[in-house]
Amino acid sequence: MLAAQQKAAQKAAMASAMQAAPRVATGRSVAASRTMSMGGARPMNAPAVAQRAAVRRATRVLVSAIANGATAPVEKTSNPMNIVFVSAEVAPWSKTGGLGDVVGGLPIELAKRGHKVITIAPRYDQYSDCWDTSVVVNVDGESVRFFHAIKSGVHRVFIDHPWFLAKVWGKTGSKLYGNRSGSDYIDNHKRFTMFCKAAIESVRALPFGPGEDCVFVANDWHSALIPLIIKDVYQPRGQFKNAKVAYCIHNIAFQGRFWPESFKDMQLPQSTMSKLGFIDGYSKVFDEKNPLDDDEKPSDSWSGPFNKLNWMKAGILAADKVLTVSPNYASEIGSGPDKGVELDSIIRMAGGAEGIVNGMDVTEWNPKTDKYVPVKYDRNSVFEGKAAAKAALQAEAGLPVDPTAPLFGYIGRLEEQKGVDILLSALPKISNAQVIILGTGKAKYEQLVKSMATKNPNFKGVVKFSAPMAHQITAGADFILVPSRFEPCGLIQLHAMQYGTVPVVASTGGLVDTVKEGVTGFHMGAFDPDRLNPADADAVAATVSRAAQVFQTPKFREMVKNCISQDLSWAAPAKKWEAILEEVSRGCTAAPAKKASVPTPVQKQIPVRA
């Protein structure tokens, strides 16, 4: 991680299915069908009666399917676009966090809506399902090839060059950017400049590419040069004249700050320096030569000024539209230097960011089909299914197998951003509950998590990256704790709700937009971004106690049902993405109404209660 980013990470580190107006076979919405059948103004005739009965049947099937986790039928666009996502990660091929999930899942839903969608990511590994296109382009003297697969209607393009393949021998982990967090590869500016330039060339070089008439979606600092190069290099030459670029911020703590000397390696015109240039107060850029130690805290004090390049700043300034992954995070990052990590004024200058809450992968995370769940369940069998999952989890973790003990889970990186230090400080104040923590991260937190059980037999810490265990905790815990200091969107709470597990969250970023106090979860308030504040540990303990008191009451059962009855898939977010991209690329006047038809999860009506 880079110096200023680490500082930032510590400062900042330290946020209905029915709603989608499901369509029945006649093309009318369910609501419209109901209104018609209740109106009764027209004379009855046999075909009309039969038709209404069919509509009612279809509606019943649909409502029940949606209540059981299916998503509404996809609306097709009448306005297809060529959409090109450029990203350093794309799940399942490469992923270190939410970025990979978004670029894995959202394009599939946009393709279902009728758009031509391409994702472009580096080829970090020998992906067995991707083929060499034999198309080669020259980028600043380097030969770059393209690999390709079509999956679920999306063209997946992988940029092949030894700077990616030779460095990274696996799909996940910080190795994509460095050997470990806080120790970025020394040539990352060269790697990702080449990546951006090759990505732009690929859309006109590949036979299945859309050519120059497309809308790019660039993501985070790694592809922030896409808008810059389109606007400052290609368009002045009369190329990509109609192309537009949306730029999405998944985590503003990672900005791509580099020393100005790196500019010569990037081979960009001098004019781009006006957008890339940045001044901060930090004397280091953390990389392999200047790694950040676990316990090291970059100085809080300004010791500059230091001239830097800031890729994210350039991306924000050059883009046609700035997006992020939740409305609340969008307002936070424009609110001030702490939450905006010193880019708040740039975001305001660009007209602000627009937030769209992420969807989640409802195929991988589905209690009805989850291979790690002992008794599969849906909303109708959620209490039986969760009871079995809880007993299995308690047994496997070595916790007392006790259905009456409220069980709180935590899954995530063991880092300050996620507030694991706050949770660990709160543990001695928690007496009436079981707690299980699963995670990997900083050595000091791994040590504390490992020793949890020695302090209290109701606590268990598991230090490993384990998808099976993550699924078991998500299904088997009664509550999931998300005590993040900042959280652009957050997936853990979405996964939890999908399994009828009630989230207990810090009131920040996307957690505010996805968890409704007393309805789908509990809020703990916002935490001190800079330090471990004893009042925050108290707030965690107090909210755990509050949630434990509600456990097993009728209110708790209603909250469980509320959680599991939501449609948290990509269907609704994709509709909002579509509206925004239409607005960006075509100035579409219908976009505001389409956007307004997709409220954030906390504003949605919960479809079914029992």
Which spans of this chain sit near ligand ADP (rule: CB under 6 A)?
Answer: 97-98, 411-413, 438-440, 465-467, 470, 490-492
- Decide whether 463 or 584 has the Cβ nearer to ligand ADP: 463
Residues facing 132 on adjacent strands: 147
CB of 98 to ligand ADP, least distance (A): 4
CB of 353 to ligand ADP, least distance (A): 18
Which residue in this structure is represented by tokens 């010193």?
Answer: 342
CA distance 409 to 544: 11
CB of 261 to ligand ADP, least distance (A): 31
Q: Judge whether 180 and 96 are in contact, CB under 8 Å.
A: no
Q: Which residues of 8-35 are buried (b: 16+ CB within 10 A; e: fewer)?
A: bbbbbbbbbbbbbebbbeeebbbeebee
Q: How many angstroms separate the Cα of 597 from the Cα of each of 21, 150, 252, 536?
A: 9, 31, 28, 37
- Decide whether 334 or 439 has the Cβ nearer to ligand ADP: 439
Q: Judge whether 346 and 360 are in contact, CB under 8 Å.
A: no
Helix (H) or strand (E) holding 280: strand 277-280
CB of 255 to ligand ADP, least distance (A): 16
CA distance 604 to 560: 16
Q: Judge whether 521 and 542 are in contact, CB under 8 Å.
A: no
- Decide whether 405 or 438 has the Cβ nearer to ligand ADP: 438
CB of 490 to ligand ADP, least distance (A): 5
- Decide whether 413 or 429 has the Cβ nearer to ligand ADP: 413
Roughly what angle, to the nearest 10 degrees, separates helices 46-67 and 30-39? Answer: 140
Q: Judge whether 276 and 311 are in contact, CB under 8 Å.
A: yes
Runs of H (alpha helix) within 427-570: 443-450, 452-455, 467-476, 492-498, 510-514, 534-550, 554-564
Number of residues in the chain: 610
User: Exposed/middle/buried for 39, CB within 10 Å: 0-12, 13-18, 19+?
Assistant: exposed
AA identity, residue 404: T
- Decide whether 456 or 466 has the Cβ nearer to ligand ADP: 466
Runs of H (alpha helix) within 40-187: 46-67, 98-112, 162-165
Runs of H (alpha helix) within 376-464: 382-397, 420-426, 443-450, 452-455
Q: ∠ CA 73-76-79 to the nearest 5 degrees?
A: 160
- Decide whether 46 or 467 has the Cβ nearer to ligand ADP: 467
CB of 520 to ligand ADP, least distance (A): 17
Q: Judge whether 87 and 68 are in contact, CB under 8 Å.
A: no
**Closest-CB residue for ligand ADP?**
97
- Decide whether 310 or 326 has the Cβ nearer to ligand ADP: 326
- Decide whether 272 or 498 has the Cβ nearer to ligand ADP: 498
CB of 401 to ligand ADP, least distance (A): 23
CB of 477 to ligand ADP, least distance (A): 13
CB of 365 to ligand ADP, least distance (A): 8
- Decide whether 359 or 490 has the Cβ nearer to ligand ADP: 490
- Decide whether 161 or 442 has the Cβ nearer to ligand ADP: 442
CA distance 428 to 509: 28
- Decide whether 159 or 492 has the Cβ nearer to ligand ADP: 492
- Decide whether 267 or 451 has the Cβ nearer to ligand ADP: 451
CB of 440 to ligand ADP, least distance (A): 5
CA distance 332 to 326: 10
CB of 241 to ligand ADP, least distance (A): 36
**Which residue from 445, 456, 451, 453 is spatially nearest to 421, judged by alpha carbons?**
445
Cα-to-chain-centroid distance, residue 294: 25
CB of 439 to ligand ADP, least distance (A): 5
